[in-house]
A = this chain, B = another copy of it.
Amino acid sequence: MGKLRVACFALSADGFGAGPEQSLDHPLGIGGMALHQWAFATAAFQRLHGGGSGGETGVDNDFIERGFDNVGAWILGRNMFGPVRGPWPDREWKGWWGEEPPYRVPVFVLTHHARPALAMQGGTVFHFVTDGIQAALQRARQAAGGRDVRLGGGVDTVRQYLRAGLVDELHLAIAPVLLGAGEALFAGLDLPALGYQCAERVPGERACHLLLRRLDRPA
């Protein structure tokens, strides 16, 4: 069975995974875009999001590539899918990524409000899961067919899966940025008590990469 992995999860030096007041204008919260500058600079990101052929190679780029290796399905919290809250007013919102999202596999979106599956160009199909994180994981594992399931976020979704002890590996990219407010990844979460340790540290060009793993799971 594949792993449940969080990859390329950018965190500010003061521990925030997104800025405050997420909205259509600020999908990552106010100031949150700065968390991802390390990723935007890479060749892999530029190829995956928009098909560009520029960008840098190196350690940061390798982590973006690794994040997509062997991934057979994704899970996203609803706020990662869009700024709409409450019941879907219509089916106009189709994600932040345009007609051809970078996932290219089934994506399971956690929500309290049912909606039919949505097939996009390039192989991405968004499935809307209303019966909780365990059900989403079960469906994602089935869709992944032995490959890994990647948990995209946001912060609250990652925290829910960590608390339930379901995440096998968590790759953090610590960005040299202070946000001061927003969504704190670690607040009230005792990761060692949940079985996690920092297994690897790799300095990148623009971020410091840390791999957290559960003690009881092999690399």
Give the chain B neighbours of A178 by CB distance below 8 A: 191-192, 196-198, 212
Within 8 A of B (CB), among A33-63: none
* A interface: dominant SS: loop
A174 CB-CB contact with B under 8 Å: yes
B186 A15 Cβ-Cβ under 8 A: yes
A179 B203 Cβ-Cβ under 8 A: no
Within 8 A of B (CB), among A163-204: 172, 174, 176-181, 186-187, 189-193, 196-198, 200-201, 203-204
A14 B186 Cβ-Cβ under 8 A: yes
Partner of A208, one of B186, B200, B208: B208
A80 CB-CB contact with B under 8 Å: no
Partner of A179, one of B15, B192, B200, B208: B192
A198 B15 Cβ-Cβ under 8 A: no
Q: How far is the CA of A93 from the CA of B178 in the complex (A)?
A: 39
Q: Which residue of B lies closest to A204 (CB)?
A: B203
Give the chain B neighbours of A203 by CB distance below 8 A: 203-204, 208
Q: How far is the CA of A210 from the CA of B135 in the complex (A)?
A: 41
B210 A198 Cβ-Cβ under 8 A: no
Known contacts A179-B192, A180-B193; A14 and B13 CB within 8 A of each other: no
CB distance from A199 to the nearest CB of B (A): 9
Q: How far is the CA of A193 from the CA of B187 in the complex (A)?
A: 20
Per-residue CB contact flags for chain A residues 1-35 toward chain B (1 = under 8 Å, else 0) read 00000000000011100000000000000010000
**A–B pairs, 6, beta carbons within 8 Å:** A14-B15, A178-B197, A180-B191, A180-B193, A181-B190, A203-B208
Inter-chain pairs besides A13-B212, A14-B191, A178-B191, 15 sampled, C-beta below 8 Å? A13-B172, A13-B174, A13-B210, A15-B15, A174-B174, A178-B196, A178-B198, A178-B212, A180-B190, A180-B192, A180-B193, A181-B193, A203-B203, A203-B208, A208-B208
